[in-house]
């Protein structure tokens, strides 16, 4: 019993002290040992290069040039916002790169450290450069808010709690069996999935601000998600069983947040936006 208490105490101490600060909210976030940028970034860069080597990267086209142009503008907006809010040098270790991959996948992503990939399959849904900016800014926020680090830390905590439960119940096989049957489902539905949805909501919210500062009209973001919803044909799991908010929730949130994003952009001298075409 004493050993069990020690294990649980060690896990709690790790959770309390292994924290980083979210530059957008100022709140503490999980950053367990082994998830530091000094370790995470090199691994992400290596994985990114591997993905590029295994796929057909599009270069020299108008679409490829657009992806780079939009990415640079969003990264610059992020830098301006961070500096204005007291986070000078926050992006010093980021190595921004923007690649377009020839694939039917409707997808885009940004790895920790600023490595971004767009698939050609998402371009018809983006529909225009402003739509690309809405996607790009969302993905950039995932990287600079350290969502990858937080997800890794949450996974480590989930494993630690599972281990603690198995140790604590090791002398009660019936209870141990029930614990192992239910822990994965409960920890995912009540913990990991809401955690992921919160990241998506934050990326939507802050991404809207960044695209506005970059000169792109945030009113296009909910229109983008209307197109995303139409493309999915309404096929999606219930929100509480998903890693993402429902399309309906996202669209409403983005519509509500549009005026705030414009007001924030105005602080940076942006009062007009590029035409949506």
272 an active-site residue?
A: no
For 2-32, b/e burial (b = at least 16 CB within 10 A) is eeeeeebeebeebbeebebebbbeeeebbbb
| Burial of residue 59 (number of CB atoms within 10 Å: 0-12, 13-18, 19+) | exposed
Give the span between the Cα atoms of 121 and 128, in whole angstroms. 13
Name every residue whose Cβ is closer than 8 Å to that of residue 6 and which is 6 or more positions away in sequence.
Answer: none
CB-based contact 247:236 (threshold 8 Å):
yes
Which residue in the list 79, 97, 129, 139 is annotated as catalytic?
139
**Which residues face 222 on adjacent strands?**
none
Pick left, alpha or beta for residue 57 (phi over 0 → left; psi -120 to 50 → alpha; otherwise beta).
beta
CA proximity to 246, closest of 200, 186, 185: 200
Closest CA to 112 of 87, 82, 136, 144: 144
Which residues are known to be catalytic?
Answer: 139
């Amino acid at each position: 019993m004493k050993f069990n208490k020690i294990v649980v105490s060690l896990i709690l101490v790790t959770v309390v002290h292994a924290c980083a600060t979210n530059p957008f909210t100022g709140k503490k976030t999980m950053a367990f040992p082994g998830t530091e940028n000094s370790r995470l970034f090199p691994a992400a860069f290596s994985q990114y290069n591997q993905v590029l080597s295994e796929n057909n990267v599009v270069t020299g086209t108008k679409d490829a040039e657009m992806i780079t142009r939009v990415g640079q503008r969003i990264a610059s907006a992020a830098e301006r916002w961070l500096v204005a809010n007291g986070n000078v040098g926050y992006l010093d270790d980021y190595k921004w790169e923007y690649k377009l991959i020839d694939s039917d996948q409707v997808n885009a992503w940004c790895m920790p450290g600023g490595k971004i990939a767009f698939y050609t399959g998402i371009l018809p849904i983006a529909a225009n450069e402003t739509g690309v900016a809405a996607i790009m800014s969302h993905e950039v926020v995932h990287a600079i808010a350290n969502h990858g680090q937080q997800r890794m830390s949450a996974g480590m905590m989930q494993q630690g709690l599972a281990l603690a439960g198995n140790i604590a119940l090791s002398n009660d096989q019936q209870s141990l069996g029930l614990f192992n049957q239910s822990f994965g489902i409960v920890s995912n539905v009540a913990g990991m999935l809401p955690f992921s949805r919160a990241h998506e909501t934050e990326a939507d919210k802050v991404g809207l601000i960044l695209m506005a500062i970059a000169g792109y009209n945030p009113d296009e973001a909910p229109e983008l998600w209307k197109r995303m919803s139409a493309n999915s044909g309404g096929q999606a799991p219930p929100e509480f069983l998903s890693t993402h908010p429902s399309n309906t929730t996202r669209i409403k949130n983005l519509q509500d947040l549009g005026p705030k994003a414009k007001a924030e952009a105005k602080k940076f001298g942006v009062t007009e936006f590029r035409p949506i075409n």
